[in-house]
Structure formats: C-alpha cells, structure tokens
Amino acid sequence: MYTFFPDLKQDHMHKHIKMPRSKIVEYHDDEKTAEYWNKIAQDILKKQLNRQINTGVAKNVILFLGDGMSIPTLAATRVYLSQKTKQSGEENELSFEKMPFTGLSKTYCVDRQVADSACSATAYLCGVKANEATAGVTAAVELKDCEAMRNTSNHVFSIGRWSQLKGKRTGVVTTTRITHASPSGVYAHIANRDWESDSLVLLDGFDPDLCHDIAHQLIHGETGAELNVIFGGGRQFMIPLTEKDEDGNRGLRLRRNLIEEWEDQKAKSEKSYQYVHNREGLLGVSDNTEYVMGLFAGDHMDYNLDRSPEKQPSLEEMTVKAIKLLSQGENGYFLFVEGGRIDHAHHATRARKALDETVEFHKAIQAALDITDAEDTLIVVTSDHAHTMSLNGYPDRGNDILGIGGMGTDDLPYTTLSYSNGPGYRQEENGIRHDVSKDDLTDKDYRYPALVPLWDETHGGDDVGIFARGPWAHLYSGVLEQNTIPHIMAYASCVNDGENACT
C-alpha cells in the first residue's frame, strides 16, 4: 500500500491528536446499530419510489437564487442551523434540499472559467451565456462597450420579460441593492455591472444619456417599468447628489429622482401603487396594490446578524409579501428572489455571516413552499456560482462547524472552515503559522483563514446545485448548462415561443 512512501505507516495517516474541541452535541446511541441506518435507507427508498412527476402547467414560477451558495456552504449551513439549537446537524436538511428533484449547474461564462454574478445572471435568467460583468446582453458585448450595448440586436430578455408578455405579474426581491448584478439580469441590458447610476457611467467616460445606467433601466426600461414588485436596497442609486434618503444618505445620481419618476409613472397609468422604505411600511401594504417599490437601505440591506428588525424586513417577510401581491393577478406570476449577501460574507471570509444568510434564505424558501401549491407553482432554487470556502479536516461528529477542525503537523490547530484566498490570510511570523485557537471564533465578523492574500475572496468555479418542486421539476436533473434553467421554466409556464407544456 505504501510502495512509494515506505516511511509511512497506516496509523500515521489518520493520527488522533489531542486538540482543542468545541463539541456541541453527541450523536444518538441508535446510530451505532445497523437497524437504524437500514431503516433510514428504506424510508428514503420508499419516498423515491413514490415520487410523482407533474406534467401540468406552471401558472406561477419562483426562482430563488442563493448568490455564492456553493455545495460546501450548504453542508456547513445544515450543521450551523441545527447547532444553533444545540442539536446534531450533519444529517439535517435545509428546506429546499427536501425538494423532489435535483441537478447540477455548470456556471462558467463565455470568457471566464469562473463566473461573476452578472454573466451568470444572464444565463439563469435570460437563457444565454455572456461575458464577465455584463448582463442582459450576448457575448457580442464586451466589458464597457457602450456602443455594442446600445445595439438592441445584442439584447437578450429574461424569463421575467417573457412572463410579462404573456400577461403575468412579475417581481424582484433581493437583500442587495436592487441595481446589483443578479437582480439586474431580470430587467437590464448593460455592458458593465458597475454602471448602477448615471454618475458611474460618466466616471467611465461615457454619456449616460446614451448609455443608460441600471437604475434608469429599472424605472424606464421595457421590463423594469412593468415590474409589479421591487424589493431590496439601493436607494442612493435612485436619487441625485443634491438629495438625501430617509436615513440621511446622500444620493449618487447626477440628476433625476427615479423614485419620484416611478411614482409619477404609476400615477399616470391610474394603477394602484405604493413606495415604502422600512419594515413597517412593507407590512402595511395592501395585498391588492398592483405596483409596490420597497427600498429598505441606501446601499445593500444589512446582514441578518446586523439587521434592525424594526427597520429592515427579513428576506422571508419580503418574499411572503411579494407572493401575496403577485398572487392577485389572474394569469399567474414570475418572481425572482435573491439571498444576495451570502456572497458578500464569503468575499469577506466571514463564514459565520455566510452561513447565517443561507439560513435566512432557507427560511424564505420554506415560507414560499408553505403558501404555494406544488400543483401549479414551479419553485426552482439554485446559485449563480460557488466560492472557495472548504469544509475540511477530521472533526468529531457534532463538533462546532465554526470552530477548530484539526491539528497541523506544526502542532497548531486549524478551523473546519477555511478559504483558498481572501482577506482572512495571516502571514507567518518567524516561520510559524498563526494560532487560531487564540482568536475569538464567536465574533460574527471573524475572518476565517485563507491561503492566499487578497482584498476580496474570489468566486469558485465548482458546479452548483439546482433544486426543484412543481410542474416539470423533474427536468432539473443531471448536469445542466446554467443557461438551460430559464428555458425549462418557460416551457413549464408556457411563456416561450414554440413547444411547451400547453402544446
């Protein structure tokens, strides 16, 4: 067995070293018996055998997007969720992991092995792969190519627009700025994801009157203007530098208050509408309101661990309100919901916040599952790309997922969760690795260790999961190109041209 490494012995391969432990729970004694595991396997087998395929029409479609929600993030979150209540976690399931059909999505973009959130949004929303940092356009548009962006033959439209053209209500919910990369894929056609306001277009040397920014397209674009629900952060990108928002944040636009223009637009259409800026306002909106814009922060919404419940609604609350509002339409709806700050926490190597944001995402999906009918509502849960966080070592069962995972050959501990790169990098001192046992691992802002120093941790190129329930959910199986995702939704809800569930 050790022909090439004669000095190694088997007992050295998995040597049990005494080390600091942070064990939360013990596993159950029944798990030591074969009967326990055989029963679990048989129960799962029966469930698989009884699984029914739904080939009806999806009146409603909800796409949940966990930004940066890699497979390791799911595994770690299962444990984190249970350990918050002092329960075992490895065998736990998140709400969407209980969905009957699963697959994998290949996330590369036309010009990148590892995707960003804009080109990937173009894939899973518009059905076409694009170049890095561009959204709602084909790969004929390169980064910052304003002229190519203005060429409408290069525009691609989202499942949101396809649904609007069939008379369905549509909505976007996110915990990021409403003009950020992922939500922009629903309504914008942009050559640079950073062009969220006219001032940022001008900063790159282009005329914002010719090359319309993302916020402008949200209010005045053909898709954006028809959105019934707009929930997220990003007020500063909607108002001019001369004005302040409800929290005292100065605007970032050169001119024009787009919130007021949205209100004027809806007033002229003689449709019921309401703009809200906090949780109280959101909960007070009548479900019969046809158009609602809720902007709950000047920038991104706060992480859940930092959020003031009196001020900002949770992702679950925004999701439930959006579904109630959209359900008033006779022809059904399309809703895009993004748990966007999973990604931001990973970029900062703040693993605790990344897992907590994933729990909030799980709660929002459970709420949607509870108030919708699998017979007529297709719910798809996926991610745009992975991250470099790994779950590693040989920690004991029930060990704190955010704690120490093992000991290195240098007799220093390492954390169960760590990153390939990012701001959590610690430089060795005198050739000695940093001792993480001296750190406060309970700090919500603790930066988990990284191998390579970077200001921001990068995305990962791994495949990501797809989970589905409802009409034609069984088509989300196998390993799929990411741009297949909206085509299946369109087939199931009959908003595409050509063959679909209705024909």
Catalytic residues: 117
R_g of the chain computed on alpha carbons: 24
Do the annotations mark residue 155 as ligand-binding? no
Q: How far apart are CA 455 and CA 348, in angstroms?
A: 8
Do the annotations mark residue 67 as ligand-binding? yes
Structure tokens at 131: 């170049």
What DSSP element (H or E) covers 125? helix 117-126
User: What phi and psi, each to the nearest 5 degrees, are found at residue 365?
Assistant: -70, -40
Do the annotations mark residue 384 as ligand-binding? yes
Strand partners, 105: 464, 480
Do the annotations mark residue 338 as ligand-binding? yes
Q: What is the amino acid identity at position 422? A: G
Do the annotations mark residue 400 as ligand-binding? no
Q: Sign of dihedral through CA atoms 263, 267, 269, 275?
A: positive
Quick one: which of 40, 88, 2 has its CA closest to 401? 88
Q: What is the amino acid identity at position 266? A: K
Q: Are 359 and 314 in contact (CB under 8 A)?
A: no
Q: How far apart are CA 243 and CA 256, in angstroms?
A: 10
Q: How far apart are CA 445 and CA 391, in angstroms?
A: 19
Quick one: which of 368, 266, 347 has its CA closest to 300? 347
Q: Are 464 and 343 in contact (CB under 8 A)?
A: no
Do the annotations mark residue 347 as ligand-binding? yes
């925004």: which residue's tokens? Answer: 318
Q: Are 223 and 209 in contact (CB under 8 A)?
A: no
Do the annotations mark residue 247 as ligand-binding? no
Q: How far apart are CA 211 and CA 30, in angstroms?
A: 65
Structure tokens at 180: 């950020």
Q: Are 301 and 278 in contact (CB under 8 A)?
A: no
Do the annotations mark residue 189 as ligand-binding? no
Do the annotations mark residue 180 as ligand-binding? yes
Cβ contacts of 265 within 8 Å, gap of 6 or more: 219, 225
Annotated binding site for Mg(2+): 67, 180, 182, 338
Annotated binding site: 67, 180, 182, 338, 343, 347, 384-385, 459
Annotated binding site for Zn(2+): 67, 343, 347, 384-385, 459
